[in-house]
Structure 1
């Protein structure tokens, strides 16, 4: 079986070579997730290396976070936007997990993220999950947790309702759209723990703040940190 599997892998690579999801070039030997050139040129924030950074400050007065970081800066166009849309809307969950592993490896180099006890992905409503087929934030969380050597908790936090997409709303409407959106079903699993909340893209912070507030209401003795794959520069200002 192993020989047949290896043979099929070689044939698939010959006729359908893997491509970099950012630039579209074929991935060479030893390349993982994205090509070497795109990895070098990636718009990394480096926020995980900074205890006090613009993302942390953007939560001031909104949500008490221990730490906050994003792997990438998110912009309206380009290859990195296509990469995110590939797993967010086109079901490429393996890509989400691989990006999580990359991000988690960076976080594992920092003492403050090694103090995390459990990784919690921001949940989707079951109707939206059924329509999409998966929750991309769960796969990001899986990759991050694997790199940190921590567990993923997918069940303790849930959405109360199937709210409309945030992309359809203005800045003010986004906050109203997520008000009282989340609930904690298993507070005993989070009690006294350092929680790393994970999501894919952060813009106004409304969804993350709503989720964090629900957790702190149910489990006031926990600590919360935030990790998102990408953050919009223009929203990294204190409201």
Structure 2
């Protein structure tokens, strides 16, 4: 039986034929979420299948992390950047769900994330969530969780302090901006579990590290892995 969201999506497709969120071309029959050309030319990092990679190293000395990965390189002035901004700021949440599904399939195929028990989207502060109307990281988490065959946990971790956007802060101020910004309200749900913390874009890694630190402090036996959709080469110290 189709869900209400699926019925609404199908009805909308009759009026507005689906287009690729990256290049804007109309999707052909059989294409799911993205056009074939964009899937073939996507700036994939390949880190899903690498136990040791530059994303994991970003967290060395900050917080204990089992695995860490980014799916795409964040490319300025590209269709991929416009797609990310679309689901981050303009309500195009379906693209986030599509990317989460694709990312999750790659994580599952790698075999490195088979021990994950639950997927935790990086929470937004309630004020920002009300203003935006949704949390894009939750849609990414839904797609990833579906591919890994685990549940999404939206309730155990919360954003306890409203902070200014990291994008508006100089790099040197970002760690302080998010210090103490997260709290665990249901530690019993995370005890002894391996969770995958999910976010859309990573820059310095300060926000994810702050959230992971709050979890580890509240639940010392919780193991944490990290999955971000996109990261820039520059932030990883790689050539553009």
TM bucket normalised to smaller: over 0.9
Instruction: Report the CA distance between 1:111 and its aligned residue.
Output: 2.1
Relative to structure 2, which stretch is displaced further, 177-186 or 17-26? 17-26
CA distance in 1 between counterparts of 2:100 and 2:27 reads 19
Alpha carbons of structure 1 residues 10 and 154: separation in structure 2 relative to 1, 3 Å: closer
1:65-104 residue pairs with structure 2 within 5 A? 65-104=65-104
Instruction: Report the CA distance between 1:237 and its aligned residue.
Output: 4.1
Alpha carbons of structure 1 residues 12 and 145: separation in structure 2 relative to 1, 3 Å: closer
CA distance in 1 between counterparts of 2:77 and 2:211 reads 28
CA distance in 1 between counterparts of 2:12 and 2:173 reads 51
**SS of match in other structure, 2:112:** helix
Alpha carbons of structure 1 residues 11 and 168: separation in structure 2 relative to 1, 3 Å: closer
User: Is it true that 1:134 corresponds to 2:169 in the alignment?
Assistant: no
Normalising by structure 2, we get a TM-score of 0.92
Normalising by structure 1, we get a TM-score of 0.93
1:116-155 residue pairs with structure 2 within 5 A? 116-155=116-155
For the 8 Å contact 1:58–1:237, the answer to whether it is kept is: no
Relative to structure 2, which stretch is displaced further, 54-63 or 145-154? 54-63
CA distance in 2 between counterparts of 1:36 and 1:73 reads 19
RMSD: 2.0
Alpha carbons of structure 1 residues 9 and 144: separation in structure 2 relative to 1, 3 Å: closer
Equivalent residue pairs, number: 233
CA distance in 2 between counterparts of 1:193 and 1:58 reads 23
Show structure 1 runs of 5+ residues with no match. Answer: none
Quick check: which has more Rg, 1 or 2?
Answer: 1
Show structure 2 runs of 5+ residues with no match. Answer: none
The superposition leaves residues 151-178 of structure 1 with CA deviations (integer Å, 9 ceiling, x where unpaired) of 1110110111111101110001111100
Instruction: Report the CA distance between 1:12 and its aligned residue.
Output: 4.5
